Amino acid sequence: MEGVTEPCFRDLVLARNPPDVLGGAFTEFARVVQVPLARSSLREHLGPRRWPAPVGLQLMGSDADLMAESARRAVEVGAPLVDLNFGCPAKGALKTCAGSALLREPRRVEELVRACAEALVDRPLTAKIRAGFDDDLLLEDLARAAEAGGASMLTVHCRTRAEGYQEAVDWSRLARAAASVSIPVCGNGGVRVHADLERLRRETGCRYSMVGRAALGDPWIFGGVRVRAAEAARFLVEYAEALAASGGFRRLGVAGRVKQLAQFWSAGGLICGERASWLREGDPDRLLARLNELAGGAYEIPRRSAAAVHTNDR
């Protein structure tokens, strides 16, 4: 998830979930515009660590040649598979006719998938769509387009672009997508608790299920493990440590990222009853000290000088 599931977060999640529990993950999208993505940028998306579960590198763009070359480079720098994003509803994506903009044109979805699948040769190319742009009338056409283009797996987020991230979900769309292709389909949208993962597969015929926002609040959702407050706090402190150690964040940026997770956090019963006070805390040192205390006080979150910081601060 863009702006959240960068390597620091993802690695902590993968470290806590063996591959039989969490079968794989994807990077946040890497946008391809005007030129193929630089290898350094692709490396940054993948992060330094490798896990038994594959981490697919997700690309988003609309130019088949640029996307194919970026996909080739992604494999060159170590991506075990590449995923194409046809779901992002953001204005920036729509302006460049990428992401969900392509949901109106199954033919272009097929073209982009084919160009990238052919570029990869010996690594899988997967695709992720939403149920449609304004409505779900093209859902089966989109699924078949991805399959015809050579996708090895299709992830379907069951909401349309117009539905954004609304609460209500219609999983019958996932069943329709799964019934229309013979490649495996991964169903996504509205998984809130561990039991939903299996329920989604059972009710839709999807081979796999994917968690989005619920994993931001409970990194143990994949295995249904209920952790204690201290363990949950340890995750957040380790996250803060990893962000600080990455050199890309000042202390304020680290606290901002932690607060971003705090919006969703449910694991260990931590934060739930006091979410407003966690989100209101403006002093990063106090925020991190509060977490550290809950975690057992074992951590030292390094301070970074401004000179060591580059652009990721948000």
Binding mask 33-72 for ligand FMN (x = CB under 6 A): -------------------------x--------------
Which one of the spans 62-70, 102-110, 188-196, 300-308 is the region binding ligand FMN (CB under 6 A)?
Answer: 188-196
Q: Which of residues 117-146 bind ligand FMN (CB under 6 A)?
A: 128
State which residue has the least CB distance to ligand FMN: 212
Extended strands (E) in 145-304 = 153-157, 185-188, 208-210
- Shortest distance (Å) from residue 6 CB to ligand FMN: 10
Tell me how far CA of residue 229 lies from CA of 173, 253, 291, 292, 295, in angstroms: 37, 24, 10, 12, 8
Regarding 200 and contact with ligand FMN (CB under 6 A), the answer is no
CB of 232 vs ligand FMN, minimal distance in Å: 19
- The residue among 30 and 119 lying less far from ligand FMN, judged by its C-beta, is 30
For ligand FMN, which residue of 1, 21, 64, 225 counts as binding (CB under 6 A)? 1
Q: Is 162 in the site for ligand FMN (CB under 6 A)?
A: no
The binder of ligand FMN chosen from 56, 187, 190, 253 (CB under 6 A): 190
Q: Which of 175, 291, 301, 158 is nearest to 243 (CA)?
A: 301
163 touches ligand FMN by CB under 6 A? no
The span from the CA of 151 to the CA of 309, in Å, is 39
d(CA 260, CA 265): 9
Note whether 259 binds ligand FMN by CB under 6 A. Answer: no
CA 240 vs CA 110, 183, 234, 291, 301: distances in Å: 41, 39, 10, 10, 7
**Could you give phi then psi for residue 244, rounded to 5 degrees?**
-65, -40
If you compute the radius of gyration of the chain from its CA atoms, what whole number of angstroms results?
A: 20
Asked if 217 touches ligand FMN (CB under 6 A), the answer is no
Q: Which of 62, 70, 160, 188 binds ligand FMN (CB under 6 A)?
A: 188
Contacting residues for 100 by C-beta, under 8 A, at least 6 apart: 86, 87, 88, 89, 93, 94, 130, 133, 161
Question: Cα(300)–Cα(161) distance, rounded to whole angstroms?
Answer: 43
Is 174 a binding residue for ligand FMN by CB under 6 A? The answer is: no
Provide, rounded to whole angstroms, the least separation between the CB of residue 183 and ligand FMN: 17
Instruction: Tell me, residue by residue from 12 to 31, as one string, x for binding to ligand FMN by CB under 6 A and - for no binding.
Output: ----------------xx--
- Here's the x/- map for ligand FMN, 82-101, by CB under 6 A: it reads as ---x-x--------------
**Distant-in-sequence, close-in-space partners of 247: CB < 8 Å, separation ≥ 6:** 304, 308, 309, 310
Q: Is 209 in the site for ligand FMN (CB under 6 A)?
A: no
- Closest by Cα among 96, 157, 169 to 132: 157
**Minimum gap (Å) between residue 130 Cβ and ligand FMN:** 8
User: Which region holds residue 267: left if phi is over 0, alpha if psi is between -120 and 50, else beta?
Assistant: beta
The catalytic residue positions are: 88
The contact set with ligand FMN (CB under 6 A) reads 1-4, 28-29, 58, 85, 87, 128, 157, 165, 188-191, 211-214
